Amino acid sequence: MSDQDIKPVEPTEEPVAKFDRRSLLTVAGAAAVAGWATVRFPKPGVPLHRSAAAARSSVAIVKASSYNVELAQRMLEGVRLCELEVKGKKVLLKPNLVEWDPSTNINTDVAVVSAALEVFRQLGAADVKIGEGPGHRRDTYDLAQQARYRKEVEKFDGLFVDLNRDDVSPVKNFANEAEFYFPNTALGADLIVSLAKMKTHHWAGATLSMKNFFGVVPGSVYGWPKNTLHKIGIDRSIVELSRVFRRTFAIVDGIVGMEGNGPIQGTSKQAGVLVMGRDLRAVDATCCRIMGIDPARLEYLATSNGLGNFYEADIQQRGEAIASVRTNFKLIDKFTDIRLA
């Protein structure tokens, strides 16, 4: 695979996010030295104008009260509502497989992974693989074992690519890096399906389909954790990854998500939904609204101009209405100001 150059995203009329009074950097004084690590960066305010560019994006919300319902059928309904073309494509399913803790729900549930495998095969994909590159654990296969992927996804080992240890190729001009390396399996896919988990996140506010792309950054180059992304900035990295990977679809597992101190140490939160769409920014904005989070207050969403729609008016909601499934996810103190009114 040869070097790939990322095309810059065309600017839209959407302005840079403004900052409100509350978002001014809180500089702790000497008395607060012990808590200096909690000093926050400003949160963006609501952008001034809607994008003039795009057509409306379809986002499907499908109810599923548990992982024991006929998930594949419901997922298929959602995918069809989004008019996704799959036939003949090489599809990579990218779950969120992070850590294992039986007391909570960190990872995309194996039932969602199995259902997606069935759906994309049924829709005529030429090939369906599963790939993930966890950010903390070296032993991806052990993690997949603990999360029951190896047990419950038929022939899992033959379908799975450890994206941390895949062959890689450079992509030019990613953030500040002249060259940034990505797994060939991800670069070569016709369609990457972000099988994300609906979770709060103690740095980004929420982790959904766009943040899930951290898992395509190879640990063999960037390490465990992928600290380079934190140095670039979490929000900026999310946006940059979305610029690189444009042939995508999102299925967010919100059947049981995570609230509070996510993405690892939070508590389980049932939202009872799968949220799907071709426009990942629109999907994430919709998930935020379901979680009771103002998407305009999440920096990565407010600053990912040109990468999809964001405003409710620009999103064609299919399936369930947001209001019928909204359930506020608990937020840690530092994020109470992102609560949707």
Give me the residues that bind other proteins (CB under 8 A), please: 33-34, 36-37, 101, 136-139, 141-142, 145, 162, 165-170, 179, 181, 202, 220-225, 227-228, 230-231, 261, 264-265, 332
SS3 of 108, please? coil
To the nearest whole angstrom, how small is the minimum distance from the Cβ of residue 225 to other proteins?
Answer: 6
Question: How many whole angstroms separate alpha carbon 139 and alpha carbon 134?
Answer: 9
Cβ nearer to other proteins, comparing 11 with 35: 35
To the nearest whole angstrom, how small is the minimum distance from the Cβ of residue 177 to other proteins?
Answer: 9
- Residue 215, CA distances (Å) to 35, 85, 140, 148, 196 in order: 30, 24, 11, 19, 11
Cβ nearer to other proteins, comparing 70 with 139: 139
Question: How many whole angstroms separate alpha carbon 179 and alpha carbon 18?
Answer: 31
- State the DSSP code for 260: S
CB 54 within 8 A of CB 304: no
To the nearest whole angstrom, how small is the minimum distance from the Cβ of residue 97 to other proteins?
Answer: 14
Token pair in block for residue 271? 């939202």
Q: Vertex 252, ends 247 and 254: CA angle to 5°? A: 175
- Residue 323, CA distances (Å) to 73, 127, 156 in order: 23, 37, 37
To the nearest whole angstrom, how small is the minimum distance from the Cβ of residue 43 to other proteins?
Answer: 18
Q: Vertex 137, ends 2 and 34: CA angle to 5°? A: 110
To the nearest whole angstrom, how small is the minimum distance from the Cβ of residue 215 to other proteins?
Answer: 15
Cβ nearer to other proteins, comparing 24 with 32: 32
To the nearest whole angstrom, how small is the minimum distance from the Cβ of residue 223 to other proteins?
Answer: 3
Cβ nearer to other proteins, comparing 161 with 325: 161
Question: How many whole angstroms separate alpha carbon 66 and alpha carbon 318?
Answer: 20
To the nearest whole angstrom, how small is the minimum distance from the Cβ of residue 210 to other proteins?
Answer: 21
- Residue 275, CA distances (Å) to 74, 106, 124, 307, 326 in order: 11, 17, 22, 18, 12
Cβ nearer to other proteins, comparing 2 with 68: 2
Cβ nearer to other proteins, comparing 83 with 142: 142
Cβ nearer to other proteins, comparing 33 with 323: 33
